[in-house]
Amino acid sequence: MNAISAVGERPSLPALDAQAPRGLTIQYGDTLSGIAAKLGVPLDRLLAANPQILNPDVIYPGDQLNVPGGAGGGNAGGDYTVQSGDTLSGIAGTHGVSLQSLTAANPQIANPDLIFIGDRIQLPGAGAPDGGGAPDGSTGPVTGPDATEPAAPGGDAGGVTAAQLQQIVPQLSASKAEAVAPHLNAAMAEANINTPERQAMFIAQLAHESGGFHYMEEIASGAAYEGRTDLGNTQPGDGERYKGRGYIQVTGRHNYTEAGRALGLDLVNNPELAAQPENAARIAAWYWESRGINAAADAGDFTQVTRLINGGTNGLADRQAYYERARAALS
């Protein structure tokens, strides 16, 4: 998998007293759970410090977030424990250092696109070469787009906006679109789904497979998969344990193992993680990239894309309807 390309550097946390509340501007693609993990603060503490957030699943770029005193973050060096959903580029952006300096500080990472939950990442200190700090060790001004600017229009590396997602999936509520779009954008960036054609096909296929981003888990119990050695279900209970989950449903012990290994997620011991929106989007993007589906999308062969996703052409008319709306919205 390719690391997510950050759109400018994230602003570093101000150097305030360790016990004082600190401010953070929400960036495009952020989630509260992701922010909490990267700052090393429990999610409940982060929520308690921000009573203005009525729905923790819906936050907006440009909003100000109160960070409880004593939380981690900033670019003063030290180390960081990799959390679920992390990428090196995301860690670099959150801590105000460049990806180059972070990679240089961690020579033990053989593949920068593959990190694992629990790994310890060394953070370059402020003022380190290419580390994002000024020569005197201060943070300095942050370059890149203003966090209060509107999100980049869809159909390019900026991804899809919530409003565009509603055009593609008319039954999707505004709040649901706001919650889903950032995860799709992060996943598409991770898998180089970065042209209007690729994005239109990707979103259309996911919309069909998930019933308009409504279903995150197979309705059936999964008992029908028990003993399916072709799916790697060799242990008692594997059928139900590894039932289909996600936007493009990952099914069976083998597929959970492969997806988890590729994304740094412990899906084998925690299969329910596959049904979380951010992971569902990343798993779909991993599947897309691992099957080379970008090539079929670039060729404009929607039927072949459907075959690579479905194994056949089931629901082709519904998929095409989503695709036509996606092309119109993202053009």
- For all residues of the chain together, what is the average pLDDT? 78
| Residue 25: partners with Cβ closer than 8 Å, 6 or more residues away | 11, 62, 63, 64, 65, 147, 148
In this structure, how many other beta carbons lie within 10 angstroms of the beta carbon of residue 230? 8
Residues 6+ apart with CB under 8 A from 300: 197
Q: Where are the domains of the chain?
A: 1-148, 162-216+280-330, 223-275
Nearest to residue 239, comparing CAs of 228, 254, 250, 255? 228
Q: Which fold has domain 162-216+280-330?
A: Lysozyme (1.10.530)
* pLDDT over 70 at 125, yes or no: no
Q: Average pLDDT of 57-61?
A: 72
Please state, for a pLDDT cut of 70, what percent of the chain lies above it.
76
Residue 300 and residue 201 in contact, taking contact as beta carbons nearer than 8 Å: no
Q: Is the pLDDT of residue 321 over 80?
A: yes
Contacts of 106 (CB under 8 A, 6+ apart): 121, 122
Alpha helix positions (H), the chain = 32-39, 43-48, 88-94, 99-104, 162-168, 174-190, 196-209, 238-241, 253-263, 277-290, 293-298, 302-310, 316-330
Average pLDDT over residues 72-98: 66
Cβ proximity of 139 and 12 under 8 Å: yes
Strands 79-81, 64-67: pairing is: unpaired
Same fold, 1-148 and 223-275: no
| Residues paired with 66 in a beta bridge | 23
Is 132 a residue whose pLDDT tops 50?
no
Homologous superfamily of domain range 223-275: Endochitinase, domain 2 (3.30.20.10)
Higher pLDDT, 137 or 165: 165
- The Cα 122–Cα 99 span in angstroms is 12
Token pair in block for residue 235: 């242990």
How far is 327 from 300, CA to CA, in rounded Å?
A: 12
Higher pLDDT, 123 or 319: 319
Split at pLDDT 50, 70, 90, the class of 192 is: very high
Mean pLDDT of the 111-121 span: 77
- When pLDDT is averaged across residues 152-166 and rounded to a whole number, the result is 73
* Residue 41 pLDDT greater than 90, yes or no: no
The fold for domain 1-148 equals: Membrane-bound Lytic Murein Transglycosylase D; Chain A (3.10.350)
Asked whether the predicted pLDDT for residue 12 surpasses 80, the reply is: no
Q: Examine the pLDDT at 229 and tell me if it is beyond 60.
A: yes
Q: Averaged over 271-285, what is the pLDDT?
A: 95
Tell me the mean pLDDT in the region 93-101: 71
pLDDT at 96: 65
- The residues, ordered by sequence, that sit 6+ positions from 183 with a Cβ below 8 Å of its Cβ are 29, 31, 277, 278, 280, 281, 282
